[in-house]
């Protein structure tokens, strides 16, 4: 299979390349050459530009000329944020490519108040569909518009994967990496709620390998893609991190409401955690049975923790995580929690 990947050198993209290589496919990458340009020297690289906004808000026009006059069996779009980007690429490729995968997000849903929500759940909308600014409010609805743009250009040939939190080695967000690294440091570790707090995520390698198999099978439509295929808890992640790092970590589980009152921000400052409020009670129980029925599988969480720790150890010693609590604030909140009675 001749496979075109839009992106292909950051996180999910690099694992898509590795998964496709392992299955003997011929790969072409299309990107700007700005990130990891020396990665995969054996693979054909086409340079170009998708329409976007510059740092000052200026319009950056697209240059997709390198894609014209070429044919591929399938394309995987890992880096579409605005519908105009997806529409332009899809329209250029629609007559010369058989199948289009768009990597979307479960943020496409307008609400997470319903547990066990499947692909029929209500999606977000935007009053102004032309905006090209990613915010907490616009990110999900923009992904919905991107999905629609892919489907309109590839009628019945578009696969829209609504991924949950993607984790594992080379994750630039550190939203999972924080916990194995923090637990490995040992000592008192502030954690939200209790060990039974639920969470969902998917190892980047599981998503990539399944994506390639779905492309091979010509699957189309919308799929939720997060995991695992059993109830995952934050306690299990932390215990695996303690065991695999050999640390002396002591988990201090603080009341969720109290943490919020103390200014602890869920998700980015306290990764994998969203308060168990009515509007979020389905956030970590998204229904992925459709994907599982079509072959999505999950490696043990211990494998993800181990490999994330090994990769994190290769970073510079002075690297600062992009997510998680700062040590000074964690110590302050821990002291306040212990002194509350």
- What is the tens place of the pLDDT at every residue in 281-312? 999 999 999 999 999 999 999 999 999 999 99
Domain 178-199+230-280+300-338 = CATH 3.10.450: no
Domain ranges in the chain? 2-163, 178-199+230-280+300-338
pLDDT at 323 over 80: yes
28-56: average pLDDT: 91
State both tokens at 147: 């999905």
Residue 249 neighbours by CB distance under 10 Å: 20
What are the two backbone dihedrals, phi and then psi, of residue 113, each rounded to the nearest 5 degrees?
Answer: -75, -15
How many whole angstroms separate alpha carbon 337 and alpha carbon 341?
A: 8
137-162: average pLDDT: 98
Supply the pLDDT for residue 285.
96
Please give the mean pLDDT across all residues of the chain: 96
Domain 2-163 = CATH 3.30.450.20: no
Per residue in 63-75, pLDDT tens? 999 999 999 999 9
pLDDT at 56 over 70: no
Supply the pLDDT for residue 341.
67
What are the two backbone dihedrals, phi and then psi, of residue 267, each rounded to the nearest 5 degrees?
Answer: 75, -60
What are the two backbone dihedrals, phi and then psi, of residue 196, each rounded to the nearest 5 degrees?
Answer: -85, 0
What are the two backbone dihedrals, phi and then psi, of residue 76, each rounded to the nearest 5 degrees?
Answer: -120, 120
Per residue in 171-211, pLDDT tens? 999 999 999 999 999 999 999 999 999 999 999 999 999 99
Supply the pLDDT for residue 61.
87
pLDDT at 59 over 80: no
Q: What is the CA radius of gyration of the chain?
A: 21
Count, in order, helices (H) and strands (E) of the chain. 10, 15
Q: b/e per residue, 265-274, with b = 16+ CB within 10 A?
A: ebeebbbbbb
Supply the pLDDT for residue 200.
98
Strand partners, 229: none
């Amino acid at each position: 299979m001749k496979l075109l990947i839009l992106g292909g050198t950051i996180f999910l993209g690099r694992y898509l390349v590795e998964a496709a290589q392992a299955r003997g496919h011929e790969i072409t990458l299309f990107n700007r050459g700005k990130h990891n340009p020396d990665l995969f020297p054996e693979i054909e690289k086409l340079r170009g530009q998708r329409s976007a906004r510059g740092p000052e808000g200026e319009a950056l026009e697209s240059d997709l000329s390198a894609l014209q006059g070429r044919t591929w069996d399938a394309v995987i779009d890992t880096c579409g944020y605005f519908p105009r980007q997806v529409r332009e690429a899809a329209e250029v490729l629609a007559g010369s490519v058989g199948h289009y995968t768009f990597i979307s997000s479960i943020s496409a849903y307008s609400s997470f108040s319903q547990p066990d929500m499947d692909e029929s759940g209500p999606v977000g909308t935007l009053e102004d569909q032309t905006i090209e600014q990613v915010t907490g409010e616009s990110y999900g609805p923009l992904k919905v518009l991107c999905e629609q743009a892919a489907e309109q250009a590839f009628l019945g040939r578009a696969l829209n994967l609504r991924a949950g939190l993607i984790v594992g080695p080379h994750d630039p967000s550190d939203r999972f990496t924080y916990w194995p690294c923090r637990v490995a440091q040992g000592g008192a570790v502030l954690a939200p709620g209790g060990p039974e707090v639920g969470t969902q995520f998917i190892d980047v390698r599981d998503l990539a390998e399944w994506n390639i198999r779905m492309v091979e099978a010509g699957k189309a439509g919308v799929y939720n893609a997060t995991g695992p295929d059993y109830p995952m808890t934050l306690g299990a992640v932390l215990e695996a991190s303690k065991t695999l790092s050999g640390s002396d970590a002591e988990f201090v589980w603080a009341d969720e409401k109290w943490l919020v009152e103390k200014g602890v921000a869920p998700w980015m400052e306290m990764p994998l955690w969203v308060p168990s409020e009515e509007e979020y009670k389905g956030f970590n129980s998204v229904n992925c049975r459709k994907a599982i029925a079509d072959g999505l599988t999950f490696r043990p969480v211990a494998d993800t923790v181990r490999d994330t720790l090994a990769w994190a150890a290769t970073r510079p010693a002075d690297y600062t995580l992009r997510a998680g609590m700062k040590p000074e604030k964690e110590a302050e909140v821990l002291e306040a929690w212990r002194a509350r009675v």
